[in-house]
Amino acid sequence: MAAQKVARLISERSIGRLSLYRRLLNVLQGEGVRNIYSHQLAAMAGCTAAQVRRDLMAVGYSGSPTHGYEVPRLIESLREFLDAPGGQGVALVGVGNLGKAILSYFTGRRPNLQIAAAFDSDPYKVNRVIHGCRCYSMEHLAEVAEGQGIRLAIITVPAQAAQAVADALVQAGVRGILNFAPVRLRVPDHVHVEDIDMTVSLEKVAYFARQSAERGSRP
Amino acid sequence: MAAQKVARLISERSIGRLSLYRRLLNVLQGEGVRNIYSHQLAAMAGCTAAQVRRDLMAVGYSGSPTHGYEVPRLIESLREFLDAPGGQGVALVGVGNLGKAILSYFTGRRPNLQIAAAFDSDPYKVNRVIHGCRCYSMEHLAEVAEGQGIRLAIITVPAQAAQAVADALVQAGVRGILNFAPVRLRVPDHVHVEDIDMTVSLEKVAYFARQSAERGSRP
DNA sequence: CTAACGCTGTGACCTGTTTCACGACCACCG
DNA sequence: CGGTGGTCGTGAAACAGGTCACAGCGTTAG
Ligand SMILES: NC(=O)c1ccc[n+]([C@@H]2O[C@H](COP(=O)([O-])OP(=O)(O)OC[C@H]3O[C@@H](n4cnc5c(N)ncnc54)[C@H](O)[C@@H]3O)[C@@H](O)[C@H]2O)c1
Ligand SMILES: NC(=O)c1ccc[n+]([C@@H]2O[C@H](COP(=O)([O-])OP(=O)(O)OC[C@H]3O[C@@H](n4cnc5c(N)ncnc54)[C@H](O)[C@@H]3O)[C@@H](O)[C@H]2O)c1
């Protein structure tokens, strides 16, 4: 059973969809749905049935052609595939407008992937508890991160501070960063960075909205 | 000159990068840089020089092999390519934790793509000015949106309200939506939706961080 | 009991994106 | 004044991701 499969290469896109499927399945389970077909999941996720089946190949649980996928079993398989075994603590650095919103949102939501500690350089925020999360000074970053086994972090500091924060996080043993600062971070190869760039997303919306408007008016 | 090129088909990915290039160029211009080569831009954007050149083919401004691209000219070309001619107003619906953070961030930032109006169903928020933006009641959505020529919107309401809000926005003439609610919105074909799903992004980070950690420890 | 159905898993194919490679160009240097 | 070096634009190759189609199989209707 320890025969871990030989590092199945899964695309980044697929992982995103698997996470999405899991959330949809959790909702379904709450509604008492026991079984589901790939085409139903596809309709909810906004992709094709073939894609759902292809993605699910990776998680190692096969559905039945007659009843589709058992919702609880599939959720469990996704959990095994996606989640770290013992849960994983997350640090949030930069308790400003965005950081506070994120804290409020993630507090007490997913059982694993909890935000375990917040950090800020502003002395007015240090040592306060914000949305149920203790805010530490930046000096204690390494200490707290190591003490709590934190390997993931969210960066919500101003752009000009982001690289320095990232360096400190990497130094403290962080392996994955969700970065909201509009800056391309330089990190070692073994650290994974995911950027969320709202400005770029908004400009994309603006561009394609204009595009489809023009197209729609002259088809 | 009105010979608009025949609707060059540009991939979504490319538009995102073009937006990124523009932001990088604006920074460079602030630093007094006059010219730049594709490989320099590539290093900053985190992609290859070939990709930069390929992306820039779409905007219709050619660099010089000897001096690269003129920063001000390139910015201007990107502006012409990406931006709506007279600027574009954006509505924000849902002035909660996240909505307020976004308001504070976008206020007075980009000259075009201003958040022109906010909306909320909470009577305590209606008619107040939050981060310099007037908050209207949902009943006035169509009226205000049409009055201000708003075609874009940001949705930051709870998941269960998102579809209804999207419907109202489409009804009010909105063509593009930046959606933060963890729900796949159903909209007509001529409306472009861009999702930002922080939970999925965080789970992706967790997965790939774990992956590279395992890989890194046993290479 | 049999046939027909509908779904899954997966190999083969196809489409869209990225990378490579090369001709053309210009500035600079010897 | 010709060679050299470096860069741009772009056709073509390479790649990745997504779609199609079908064999296999339990279920169920007749
Ligand atoms: N607010 C948004 O909606 C939004 C949208 C898009 C991008 N962003 C990006 O997110 C980041 C934060 O935005 P914000 O609006 O929350 O800003 P903010 O100014 O409200 O918050 C920044 C926080 O980071 C802290 N900080 C500053 N330097 C620090 C350092 N070196 N170490 C630790 N903490 C430090 C500050 O004390 C403050 O609490 C920015 O990079 C911004 O570009 C924000
Ligand atoms: N806060 C975050 O960091 C975060 C992270 C990821 C996703 N999200 C998503 O963003 C959305 C908002 O999150 P939040 O933390 O700001 O929530 P919130 O509860 O703080 O804010 C929601 C706001 O929407 C308003 N609202 C509710 N129903 C409405 C309706 N029908 N019409 C108009 N306004 C309505 C409420 O009055 C409130 O002001 C949610 O869908 C959440 O899932 C938030």
Chain C nucleotides covered by protein, CB below 7 Å: 6-11, 16-21, 24-27
What digits encode the pLDDT tens for the residues B16-26?
999 999 999 99
B59 pLDDT above the threshold of 80: yes
pLDDT of residue A4: 41
Amino acid in the structure at residue A151: R
pLDDT of residue B6: 45
Report the C-alpha gap between A53 and A45 in whole angstroms. Answer: 12
pTM, two decimal places: 0.95
pLDDT band at B5 (very low <50, low <70, confident <90, very high): very low
- Where in A71-170 does DSSP place strands (E)? 89-93, 114-120, 129-130, 133-137, 152-155
What digits encode the pLDDT tens for the residues A26-46?
999 999 999 999 999 999 999
B99 pLDDT above the threshold of 70: yes
pLDDT of residue A126: 96
pLDDT of residue B216: 59
Q: Which two tokens stand for residue A15?
A: 């992982």
- Where in chain A does DSSP place strands (E)? 35-36, 69-70, 89-93, 114-120, 129-130, 133-137, 152-155, 176-179, 192-195
pLDDT of residue B4: 41
Q: What is the mean predicted confidence (pLDDT) over B142-165?
A: 97
Residue B188 CA, nucleotide C23 C1', distance (Å): 47
A206 pLDDT above the threshold of 90: yes
Residue B64: CB less than 7 A from any atom in strand D: yes
Helix (H) or strand (E) run with residue B155 in it: strand B152-155
Q: Which domains does chain A have, with CATH numbers?
A: 2-82 (1.10.10.10), 88-199 (3.40.50.720)
pLDDT of residue B156: 98
A69 in Cβ contact with A39 (< 8 Å): no
Atom of ligand 2 nearest to the CA of B95: 39
A217 pLDDT above the threshold of 90: no
Q: How many helices (H) and strands (E) does chain A have?
A: 8, 9
Distance (angstroms) between ligand 2 centre and the Cα of A174 equals 30
Nearest to A84 by CA among A13, A176, A178, A8: A176
pLDDT of residue B212: 79
pLDDT band at A211 (very low <50, low <70, confident <90, very high): confident
CB < 8 Å to B180, chain A: none
Kindly report which amino acid residue has its CA closest to the C1' atom of nucleotide C10. A54
Report the C-alpha gap between B102 and B96 in whole angstroms. Answer: 10
B187 pLDDT above the threshold of 50: yes
Q: By mean pLDDT, which of A4-18, A140-154, B72-86, B198-212 is the weakest?
A: A4-18
